[in-house]
Structure 1
């Protein structure tokens, strides 16, 4: 293992995550062991467990920025848009993201029960960001939880019925946004 410079705790964590993600890409989550991650990071397995409690924790730390950061970026860049345009931008970004990263997202949600729990955690973060964005849309207060569910359901539908055509995705986004805003801003039906 040669001579190494001492890394800060944060730098070592980043190095382990980066090495682990390379192994996960090559072998998949189930096919990867913590010993292989440690070997790839050029550390002992004991050292690895000083930084992370499990393989699942390493994986989640590796994918979280990939998923959440891109959503936060689109929310920031859409800040000056109308509420309708903002919802469209967020939906278009997420559905495109799902289409482009289909295998990774399916892995998080479906490969193992451990990763499924991580998918729930990530979904909660995504839901929180969407709820914040919907708060600015012309949607009745009592309909906002329904709007969030519609958006989350729309996103999940693309995991099971993926769409690769950009024009179809764009049309879908415009239709779902119109459906939400037109049907959720008027008076309450009793």
Structure 2
């Protein structure tokens, strides 16, 4: 078969990257049975290509997990049928495994915490309609939505003096909500 088409990154997270592609234009006269997804860690000297997954032909998307946050990866995909494995289509640039946002605490006091983040690099092909902001008291496992915004900054006002919180943000578009980015450390309102 010929190489799969239009390989691109669909999503990233701190330890995963999801790639997606289209079927090959030509199957060589035999049905494609599998796709072979390979990855290469270009952050390491002498990084070699290794198999990340072997998927059935119905699958044209692959979430590659257990990556090292901050490392850059290349991906390539090949189609396989009864005549053998065809040529690879390869991403033309490395992609870094990182949370979709660089979520930061801008400032805080007894009655508010201001968060700022960078819009995600990948939106799944649809524009972001808004961001959902959530908080969690460090003593509980329950996340509570505290607001939505169309911009990349938000002031959370329903915090209490002396209470400590984690915050997270997720992007939303017509396809639904994406992965969340969480603050690295808890924040105490004071």
Q: TM-score range by the shorter chain?
A: under 0.3
When normalised by structure 2's length, the TM-score is 0.25
The structure whose residues are more often strand, as a share, is: 2
- Structure 1 length-normalised TM: 0.25
